[in-house]
Amino acid sequence: MTATLLTPEEISLLADQLPGWTVLGSKLQRQWKFKNFVDAFGFMSRVALLAESMHHHPDWSNVYSRVTIELTTHDLGGLSDQDVQLAQAINLLQPN
């Protein structure tokens, strides 16, 4: 369960591994636009379940039908393998 910081080389490969995500400094960021708030919050509920199960939680925000998720590993001050695993799990969710 211990997180391991990614090397600069590993970070440079993330864009290919994680469709839709952008590396912004020490964070991974992705945005979603849903049909309405109901679909946006249904997605957030599924992400919440994944996050709690992985013991790794997003920095995220929502405005009506838009959801923005930022992933970073606060304890290590950068991107870790746990951020990649959560991003991959989120990408496997079928958007509504």
Q: Which residues bind a second copy (CB under 8 A)?
A: 37-39, 41-46, 48-53, 55, 57-64, 93-94, 96
Direct distance between the N- and C-terminal alpha carbons of the chain, in angstroms, rounded to an integer:
31
Rounded CA gap, 58 and 86, in Å?
9
Q: Report, in Å, the least distance between residue 95 CB and a second copy.
A: 8
Q: Report, in Å, the least distance between residue 77 CB and a second copy.
A: 15
Query: What does the angle CA 77 – CA 21 – CA 51 come to, to the nearest 5 degrees?
Result: 60
CB atoms within 10 A of CB 83: 26
Our CB check for a second copy shows the closer of 12 and 53 to be: 53
Our CB check for a second copy shows the closer of 2 and 16 to be: 2
